[in-house]
Chain A
């Protein structure tokens, strides 16, 4: 309990320092609860998510960092490894491949990498996975781009 607080506090200070260093990630800690965080990540360039801003919610367990944080997308996203309704993410480092040396910041980086390199063979969103697996890259990209535009971009006028 103490250990997780101390560690999160260190991450908090680190985030304050690194803010400018990594413009793609903006990690914010809940004002009243250090175990609740949100992050805004930029959709990686040259992907259908480019130009979108995606919000992630972190729930950090008391055993952190020995156990991984729970992360889900709050912003709707069309991606094979993200559940379309719940935002649940299928990523090995958030499950059995977790290491206590990961940080919230590096988890965000891993999620950005996952957005750029979907794993259609382990789909949580089967429609999206099937498009990619059947080789319909255009179909996948246009769907993903549409949802990026609908959900992850600021509404114009």
Chain B
């Protein structure tokens, strides 16, 4: 907070003097304060957005907390609480509700025995035969999960390893006896797993289950990112779903695509699926896989009958041909003419708009790659140019932050601009006034951003040469770049808001005054 105030004072005193628009101010809406102090910046509640970035340790902590809570309230072991929570999608409320409504039923469903049958009850004598390798062992080498079915420790180890290697289904591991449903909990895994590696994998699956089955937490989809984001806001409606991870990836929490203001998730999804319609991967996936009707994971059928069962934890059973629920499934061989006619019409429409689509797609893609380039450029600026400027211009690092600001602005704006092309594509043809206003605003935005991008990219170069003393024009450059950054920021903020409102000015103020409400102020320079 202090640092923010300091910064903005500093910036204000420098910029507003030469600027036409004396009311301009920085509100730091894009940059925020996270890159400076990651410890404090995890929670983003100030800007009206409620989300928290979680690292692995945070997730584990939260997971352990809910386990401890259930364990205390129900007076069961932590491992038992874990099984219950996993079964009820990590919702403490649901566990409590079900447990207190009918404890026996819950126990039966998850395989928790309310007794502990001693091996001696089943096998007389002090030796027992393992049900997997059939060798006879002394009692202390034999183990059972309370149901009395004896298996030796080595076979347990192999059984556990094979389950873990088969994927997250190991979280619902049962006694190896086919007729027994007694659960093998994580204490059993800890005691009998063959290696620390197995234990680690199991615990990783457990953590993933906590994140993936939890309604309020999602993984950051950024490449190689290990953070997850907990979203506390109501979301939807007025609220923005935009989330910015500590890995610098910003995305929409709702649909997990890139941040896509001003367009909504639905538009993004249709736009992106349109884009990939023709791609090789898409064709491959369409030809060989189908999405599970419940969890949407792509499934490749590699043999067997049409009765499909999705992988745990989903386990949905459906018909491969019609994707209908298996238990309400009669036959699906009848031809549906209506569906076919619909498909034909869609194909025709697609043909008709292909030229229009190419227009918008080219520009969408150009802004996308320009943004990727800008991200790379910014890294170069941060790692090399800033250091160089410190030498040639005799500045301190913090005095050059305005350059990074400018680049972050460029990256943010490219993102917005990119999505305005999807917006434009879906804007109805017959709303001429809206289209004109939109195209005007978009054009201005593009011009403004180009100016900023060019200034940051090209005009900076002259100051990298070392003349042995600070260059004269550097201060001028600083003022100009700051001004452009600010003006562009303000303009894009307004643009996003206007587009999100569906350009409602059009109805209110009529077509002649368009553009007046959203003035494009230009910085001199």
Q: A residues engaging B (CB < 8 A)?
A: 3, 6-7, 10-11, 14, 63, 65-67, 81, 88, 90, 93, 95-97, 99-102, 121-124, 133
Contact = CB atoms under 8 A, between A and B. Distances in A.
20 contacts: A3-B133, A3-B154, A3-B158, A6-B133, A7-B134, A10-B135, A14-B134, A63-B162, A66-B158, A67-B162, A88-B303, A95-B304, A99-B177, A99-B178, A100-B155, A101-B132, A102-B178, A121-B307, A121-B326, A124-B304
A90 B178 CA distance: 18
B56 interface: no
A122 to B, nearest CB: 4
Contacts of B162: 63, 66-67
B247 interface: no
B133 A123 contact: no
B131 to A, nearest CB: 5
A23 B162 CA distance: 34
Nearest to A125: B305
B309 A10 contact: no
Contact of B131 (A14, A90, A93, A101): A101
Given A6-B133, A66-B159, A67-B162, A100 B176 contact: yes
Interface in B125-147: 131-135
B396 interface: no
Contacts of A90: 304-305
Contacts of B176: 99-101
B329 to A, nearest CB: 8
Contacts of B178: 93, 97, 99, 101-102
A65 B159 CA distance: 9
B322 interface: no
A96 B176 CA distance: 13
Contact of B132 (A65, A88, A122): A65
Contacts of B518: none
B24 interface: no
Given A96-B309, A101-B176, A121-B326, 5 more contacts: A6-B135, A7-B133, A67-B162, A88-B304, A121-B307
Most buried by A among B162, B178, B309: B178
Contacts of A88: 303-304
A63 to B, nearest CB: 7
A97 B177 CA distance: 11
B254 to A, nearest CB: 33
B74 interface: no
B177 A122 contact: no
B306 interface: yes
A55 B479 CA distance: 88
A81 B307 CA distance: 11
Interface in B312-333: 326, 329, 331
A17 to B, nearest CB: 13
A14 B133 CA distance: 13
A42 to B, nearest CB: 23
Nearest to A65: B132
Nearest to B160: A66
Contacts of A100: 131-132, 155, 158-159, 176
Nearest to A66: B162
A133 B176 CA distance: 34
A66 B307 CA distance: 25
Nearest to B177: A101
A101 to B, nearest CB: 5
A81 B149 CA distance: 31
Contacts of A6: 133, 135
A10 B130 CA distance: 12
Contacts of B158: 3, 66, 100
Contacts of A14: 134
Interface string B98-140: 0000000000000000000000000000000001111100000
Interface string B155-170: 1001101100000000
B96 to A, nearest CB: 32
B307 A122 contact: yes
B111 to A, nearest CB: 14
Given A66-B159, A66-B162, A93-B178, A122 B305 contact: yes
Top 7 nearest A-B pairs (CB, nearest first) are A122-B307, A66-B162, A99-B178, A122-B305, A10-B134, A100-B132, A101-B131
Interface string B291-313: 00000000000011111010000
A98 B154 CA distance: 19
A63 B158 CA distance: 9
B306 A122 contact: yes
Contacts of A99: 176-178
A93 B159 CA distance: 16
A3 B200 CA distance: 25
A11 B158 CA distance: 19
A121 B178 CA distance: 23
Contacts of B135: 6, 10
Nearest to A4: B133
Contacts of B303: 88
B120 to A, nearest CB: 20
Contacts of A93: 178
A121 B330 CA distance: 9
Nearest to A122: B307
A116 to B, nearest CB: 19
Nearest to A96: B309
